[in-house]
Amino acid sequence: MIRVLVVDDHPVVRGGLVGWLAAQEDLDVVGEAADGLEALAQVAATAPDVVLMDLRMPRMDGVTAIERLAASHPGVRVLVLTTYDTDADIVRAVAAGATGYLLKDAPLPQLADAVRAAARGETVLAPPVAARLVSRMRAPVVEEPTARELEVLAGVARGLTNADIGRELFIGEATVKTHLLRLFAKLGVDDRTRAVMVAVERGLLPRPGG
């Protein structure tokens, strides 16, 4: 038998989940909770294998509860069940230690299978959630120029030499060159003129006369 704790702040939703899961021959609903604080107490009292966790709840939200459970009961699997599928919600929950992330429009048989999979230690993600995570992982990480690098580039835009920029910013000429090389890499360019053009296009530097 897989021991399950259901955590949701809406009594009707919670009751429906408890009724469906309890009807499964291999699932035993050992408790329910209306918020993160109750969930922590119930986990300590009932020792579930899987916690079905809503995210947005009063007193203590789901992510905070997941973090606490990961520290105090690392063997308990937490399966998020929520209506929210924003990148921020998904990443926070997974980073906190959630085993899976499902949306509340999931068919009930799929939900029961997800609980079983979570109990086996498998990662369970709703298709839209998986697609969002994959897109996020594939998106190139754009490293933004630092404030100092932009000060150097602003000097370049004004037609100053490296030596002039160094004197104005009280740094050595070699340091100016280092800042420019890092800027070139971040902006994907290989010369000073193009660096200024790209920075202006991206709104990092004001347009000439602007």
The Cα–Cα gap between 43 and 21 comes to 17
Give the residue, 131 or 30, on which the prediction is more confident.
30
The neighbour count for residue 148, using CB atoms within 10 Å, is 13
Least-confidence region, from 72-76, 79-83, 85-89: 85-89
Provide the 3-class DSSP secondary structure of residue 175.
Answer: helix
Which residue in the block uniquely carries the two structure tokens 């992510």? 63
Q: Could you read off the pLDDT of 91-141 as tens digits, one per residue?
A: 888 888 898 899 888 888 889 999 999 999 888 888 788 777 777 666 666
Instruction: Give residue 139's pLDDT.
Output: 64
pTM greater than the 0.95 cutoff: no
Would you say 205 and 196 are in contact if contact means Cβ atoms under 8 Å apart?
yes
Residue whose C-alpha is closest to residue 75's, from 41, 104, 44: 44
Strands 124-125 and 77-82: unpaired
Give phi and psi for 184, each to the nearest 5: -55, -45
Which residues neighbour 23 within 8 Å (Cβ) at sequence distance 6 or greater? none
Radius of gyration of the chain (CA): 26
Q: Which two tokens stand for residue 34?
A: 């209306």
Instruction: Give residue 155's pLDDT.
Output: 95
Half-sphere exposure of 9 (CA within 13 A, CB side): 14
Domains, the chain, in order of start with CATH, read 2-138 (3.40.50.2300), 147-202 (1.10.10.10)
Say whether pLDDT at 185 is over 90. Answer: no
Least-confidence region, from 78-87, 144-153, 160-169, 201-210: 201-210
Q: Which two tokens stand for residue 88?
A: 């921020």
